[in-house]
Amino acid sequence: MDARATSNPALAILLIPWSILRGAARFVSRLRANIPGMIGFIGLVAYFIFTFILPRFIPFDNEPNLDEIVGPIGSRIQLAVHRDDARLRTFEDLAGKTVGVVDQTGGPDLIAPYADTLTIEKYRWTSRRAGPGLETSLVDLANQEIDALLIFSKTVTELIDSQQDPELKALFSENIVISNPGLGPPHLLGTDTQGRDIATHVVHGGRVLILTALIGGVISTVIALFLGSIAALTGGFLDSALTALTNLILAIPRFPLLVVMAGLIRFDNTLYLGVLIGLLGWPALMRAIRSQVLSLRERDFVEAARSLGLSTNHIMFREILPNMISYVMINFIFSITFAMYEQIGLVVLGLAPINDYTWGVMLYFGRSRGTLYNPDGASMALSPVLAIAFFQVCLVLFARALEELFDPRLRAPV
Amino acid sequence: MATQSLNAPLESPWRDQLIHALRTALTSYTARVVVQAIVTIWAVATLTFLLVREMPGNPIDVLIEQILTQEGISYQEAYDRVAASFNFDPDASLLDLYFSWLGDLLRFDLGKSITSPGTEVIDEIARFLPWTVFAVGMGLLISFVLGIVLGMTMAYYRNSFLDHSLSLLSSFLTGVPNYIWGLLIIIVLGIQLNLFNVGELRGTYDISLTPGLNAAFILSVLKHAALPIATYVIATLGGWMLNMKSSTMGVLNEDYVNVAEARGLKDKRIITSYVGRNASLPLFTQLTIAVGFVLGSGVVIEEIFVYWGIGHYLFQSITVRDYTSMQGVFLILTMGVVFSNLFADLTYGLLDPRVRISGER
């Protein structure tokens, strides 16, 4: 039963999903022979579910959790609380309480937005490591003179564990509970510098990037297809002019041009960036499509169509385009990878909008806040890196598998 | 008829001969590619000129606006001040400015830096560019040689397990963006495994050493460039492998390879001088395209490794909005791409006798 075979239009419409499904099944069964291509295909489907469906069920974690903070360079940020108040976790919990902050380690920045809801007691970190300032604050906490203590250093645990004074040691270990963030079931990928769940950020971080890359890829492919076929089909002056223009744009290093333009324009919306990337990205593909059309134009079936007096539109869309659609598709995928490459590069440099918390923005903050260089921040640094890397690899594997499927010369043993 | 036209140049007076020689020179392949390169550079120079002066939100208007709001002086004064820092005559028309700018370019005068007065942009470029050329050149050279060897291996052992795994590897190498490779090197090797100190490897050499031809300095230069070079190698290797594989498979089908085998030549000789040489020829053209791409993407790589090359300089001038430096570096990068393409066009005939004899490509 084929959709085209039925005469009843209503039935035909009902059958469209069926025929699409069957086509997809045929495609997948052909792809099965190519294991890397299959991996890429499954990967892309997984990415689609991951970035477009999962965010509906998993909310973006934007709540700072004081007891789950992974700290800046070389330190764990920790919330120490009295044993009796062990449920204190967020700034909301701390409202109305007295919170001690060891000034020099970075606490004020974090606590500043909440300064009017809680009382802040400041302690000094003296020049000696684990000096008396830290000790005083711990004693105050143990005696419940303050309700909680924000400490941005891993020396706290050392101070308690290796305490020489047995009286203090007992006081600390009996009364103080210190947060200890780690990877594990509640937070699959751990937490970031504000105690927010990284896994939810990864889930939400792909949508804008992939959409922008798709916009860039679609625009550059459409321009390339349009200009390439016009150049090849009309020939003459228009052809030479378009080819000269293409060669000119190809000579301009694309990424520096983007960097300069992004530096001049300062986009406020990532999607505009996709448009710009698309507008600059077509020349290489345009040249390839032009030569494809040139060679297809000489084929017998096109000659036949032309001698029948069929219009240029007909020849382009019915005779030539179907014969290079697979080629266009493959290059479309590659242009998505380029658009992805360029926009994330711009984001990492800080020249693209950072209002959406994408994988690229995670990297940007990782670089600017130094968490990339923090031995404790492995998950914070590697999650976006691997998310980007595997997405690109899946695209490339899938595109290469398509190349082999549609180009028998690559498949057959030579 | 044929003899007449052959003899014609000899019989004609010297002026005709000169015209004839000029015409052949101008229509020759060499002249065409040289003219094309010059036109490209001119067009990009014009584009940068317009980008800086005429685009909405262009730096000149922005700077005038900035001075106006900050210091409350008259528009004309602000305009004159900006004209002084951009090194143009405030009373001249746009066309005059354009021609004087082109004239400056011909004398390699790229103007003075806006944010650090007194520094010539061309001097800054001369200071930063060699490091990038060194790192990019080394990286491409290493990956090109490695890629040719691996690509030929893939072609010789095609459809074996080795071929499939190398092909999968090449997908990984090309798929992952080069700055992601750079970050992976830093995070995994540098921070997590602690194999080297990331902070110490910033810059292009240890500043406590005096530059010169001594072992300590050269070692320091190599150490600082090692990570960017490794990144360039990793990120470009996959492409060379695949291209070399398909090129080699094409050559393996050629008659002269069969003949060489039939003549009983040693395998080693066939691999190197019959297959390897011919299969790697088309890759030289792609090498120049890669130069352009790698030079361009170097902006991110150099920022990630804090390697003080031309990309780092470009990014720094963008962050402080130093427009003359920006436009200078951008022009130099474009010229680098154009000249490497020109170099390929001109030398390809020398490498491949078949092209030299047929006279065109």
Instruction: Indicate if the alpha-carbon torsion angle B28, B29, B33, B36 is positive or negative.
Output: positive
Measuring CA to CA, how many Å separate A233 from each of A289, A319, B9?
11, 13, 41
Using 50, 70 and 90 to split pLDDT, how confident is the model at B184? very high
Q: Is B179 on the interface with A (CB under 8 A)?
A: yes
Q: pLDDT at residue A129 above 70?
A: no
| Higher per-residue confidence, A217 vs A6 | A217
Q: What's the pLDDT at A409?
A: 54
Tokens of A148: 């909680």
Helices B323-351, B277-305: crossing angle, 10 deg rounding: 170
Phi first, then psi, for residue B280 (nearest 5°) are -85, -15
Phi first, then psi, for residue B7 (nearest 5°) are -80, -15
Measuring CA to CA, how many Å separate A292 from each of A228, A232, A325, B55?
9, 9, 11, 36
3-state secondary structure chain A: CCHHHCCCHHHHHHHHHHHHHHHHHHHHHHHCCCHHHHHHHHHHHHHHHHHHHHHHHCCCCCCCEHHHCCCCCCCCCEEEEEHHHCCCCECCCCCCCEEEEEHHHCHHHHHHHHCCCCEEEEECCCCCCCCHHHHHHHHHHHCCCCCEEEECCCHHHHHHHCCCCHHHHHHHHHHEEECCCCCCCCCCCCECCCCCEHHHHHHHCCHHHHHHHHHHHHHHHHHHHHHHHHHHHHCHHHHHHHHHHHHHHHHCCHHHHHHHHHHHHCCCCHHHHHHHHHHHCCHHHHHHHHHHHHHHHCCHHHHHHHHCCCCHHHHHHHHHHHHHHHHHHHHHHHHHHHHHHHHHHHHHHCCCCCCCCCHHHHHHHHHHCCHHHCHHHHHHHHHHHHHHHHHHHHHHHHHHHHHHHHCHHHHCCC
Q: What's the pLDDT at B235?
A: 92
Q: How far apart are CA A347 and CA A388, in angstroms?
A: 13
3-state secondary structure A379-404: HHHHHHHHHHHHHHHHHHHHHHHHHH
| Higher per-residue confidence, A279 vs A12 | A279
pLDDT digits (tens, 9 = 90+) for B74-120: 777 777 777 776 666 666 677 887 888 888 888 888 877 777 777 88
Q: pLDDT at residue B135 above 90?
A: yes
| Contact check, Cβ <8 Å, A251/B338 | yes
Mean pLDDT of chain B: 82
In the block, tokens 């690229």 appear at: A360
CB A216 within 8 A of CB A278: yes
Q: pLDDT at residue B354 above 50?
A: yes
| Contact check, Cβ <8 Å, B158/A413 | yes
Q: How far apart are CA A232 and CA A292, in angstroms?
A: 9
pLDDT digits (tens, 9 = 90+) for A149-171: 777 666 676 677 777 777 777 77
Highest mean pLDDT among A257-261, B45-49, B128-132, B280-284: B128-132
Q: pLDDT at residue A264 above 80?
A: no
CB A150 within 8 A of CB A137: no
Q: How far apart are CA B281 and CA B258, in angstroms?
A: 19
Best probe of the A interface among B176, B249, B332, by most A CBs < 10 A, is B176
Using 50, 70 and 90 to split pLDDT, how confident is the model at A182? low
Tokens of A151: 């400490």
Q: How far apart are CA B152 and CA B143, in angstroms?
A: 14
Q: What's the pLDDT at B360?
A: 44
Q: What's the pLDDT at A77?
A: 54
CB-closest option in B59, B191, B253 to A414 = B253
Q: How far apart are CA B310 and CA B324, in angstroms?
A: 14
Q: pLDDT at residue A27 above 90?
A: no
pLDDT digits (tens, 9 = 90+) for B149-170: 999 999 999 888 999 899 999 9
Using 50, 70 and 90 to split pLDDT, how confident is the model at A78? low
Q: Is A73 on the interface with B (CB under 8 A)?
A: no
Q: pLDDT at residue A181 above 80?
A: no
Q: How far apart are CA B284 and CA B271, in angstroms?
A: 18
| Contact check, Cβ <8 Å, A397/B171 | yes
Q: Encode burial over A391-407: b for 16+ CB neighbours within 10 A, e otherwise.
A: bbbbbbbbbbbbbbbee
Q: What is the ipTM of this complex?
A: 0.82
| Contact check, Cβ <8 Å, A36/B249 | no
Measuring CA to CA, how many Å separate A28 from each of A34, A330, A405, A412, B341?
10, 16, 11, 20, 42
| Contact check, Cβ <8 Å, B315/A265 | no
CB B288 within 8 A of CB B192: no
Q: What's the pLDDT at A385?
A: 93
Question: For residue A186, which of A61, A306, A299, A281 has the smallest C-alpha distance?
Answer: A61
Please enumerate in sequence order all residues whose Cβ is within 8 A of that of A378, keeping only pairs 6 or more positions apart, or say none. B187, B191, B192
Q: Is A349 on the interface with B (CB under 8 A)?
A: yes
| Contact check, Cβ <8 Å, A413/B192 | no
B272-301 residues touching A, CB cutoff 8 A: 292-293, 295-297, 299-300
pLDDT digits (tens, 9 = 90+) for B311-350: 999 998 888 877 788 888 888 888 888 888 888 888 777 7
CB A365 within 8 A of CB A346: no
Please enumerate in sequence order all residues whose Cβ is within 8 A of that of B87, keeping only pairs 6 or more positions apart, or say none. B104, B111, B112, B324
Q: How far apart are CA B108 and CA A144, in angstroms?
A: 72
| Contact check, Cβ <8 Å, B297/A259 | no
| Higher per-residue confidence, A185 vs A338 | A338
Q: How far apart are CA B269 and CA B260, in angstroms?
A: 9
Q: pLDDT at residue B275 above 80?
A: yes
Percent of the residues in chain A that have a pLDDT greater than 70, as a whole number: 81
Q: Is A265 on the interface with B (CB under 8 A)?
A: yes
Q: What's the pLDDT at A2?
A: 47
| Contact check, Cβ <8 Å, A388/B186 | no
Q: What's the pLDDT at B12?
A: 60
pLDDT digits (tens, 9 = 90+) for B195-206: 888 877 788 787
Mean pLDDT of B42-58: 77
Phi first, then psi, for residue A82 (nearest 5°) are -75, 150
Please enumerate in sequence order all residues whose Cβ is within 8 A of that of B96, keeping only pairs 6 or more positions apart, or say none. B89
Q: How far apart are CA B169 and CA B149, in angstroms?
A: 15
| Contact check, Cβ <8 Å, B168/A36 | yes
Contacts of B55 in chain A (CB under 8 A): 264
A214 min Cα distance to partner chain B (Å) = 17
| Contact check, Cβ <8 Å, A397/B314 | no
Q: How far apart are CA A41 and CA A30, in angstroms?
A: 12
CB B308 within 8 A of CB B131: yes
CB A371 within 8 A of CB A365: yes
pLDDT digits (tens, 9 = 90+) for A185-212: 677 787 777 778 888 888 998 899 999 9
Tokens of A226: 């349009």
Percent of the residues in chain A that have a pLDDT greater than 90, as a whole number: 20
Q: How far apart are CA A302 and CA A288, in angstroms?
A: 19
Using 50, 70 and 90 to split pLDDT, how confident is the model at B139? very high
Q: What's the pLDDT at A76?
A: 55
B165 min Cα distance to partner chain A (Å) = 10
Q: What's the pLDDT at A66?
A: 65
Mean pLDDT of B221-228: 90
| Higher per-residue confidence, A242 vs B358 | A242
Q: How far apart are CA B44 and CA B148, in angstroms?
A: 34
Using 50, 70 and 90 to split pLDDT, how confident is the model at A275? very high
Using 50, 70 and 90 to split pLDDT, how confident is the model at B11? low
| Contact check, Cβ <8 Å, B299/A256 | yes
Q: Is A247 on the interface with B (CB under 8 A)?
A: yes
pLDDT digits (tens, 9 = 90+) for A33-74: 788 888 899 999 999 998 888 888 888 887 766 666 665 544
Tokens of B335: 């010229």
Q: How far apart are CA A98 and CA B302, in angstroms?
A: 46
Q: What's the pLDDT at A113?
A: 67
- Sheet of A148-151, strand order: A119-123, A98-102, A148-151, A78-82, A176-178
Instruction: Indicate if the alpha-carbon torsion angle A153, A155, A159, A161 is positive or negative.
Output: positive
Q: How far apart are CA A199 and CA A187, in angstroms?
A: 7
Q: pLDDT at residue B279 above 80?
A: yes
pLDDT digits (tens, 9 = 90+) for A357-408: 899 999 998 888 777 887 777 888 889 999 999 999 999 999 988 888 876 5
Mean pLDDT of chain A: 80
A236 min Cα distance to partner chain B (Å) = 19
| Higher per-residue confidence, A413 vs B225 | B225
Q: Is B187 on the interface with A (CB under 8 A)?
A: yes
Q: How far apart are CA A364 and CA A352, in angstroms?
A: 10
Using 50, 70 and 90 to split pLDDT, how confident is the model at A414? very low
Q: What's the pLDDT at B2?
A: 45
Q: What's the pLDDT at A108?
A: 61
Mean pLDDT of B214-234: 90
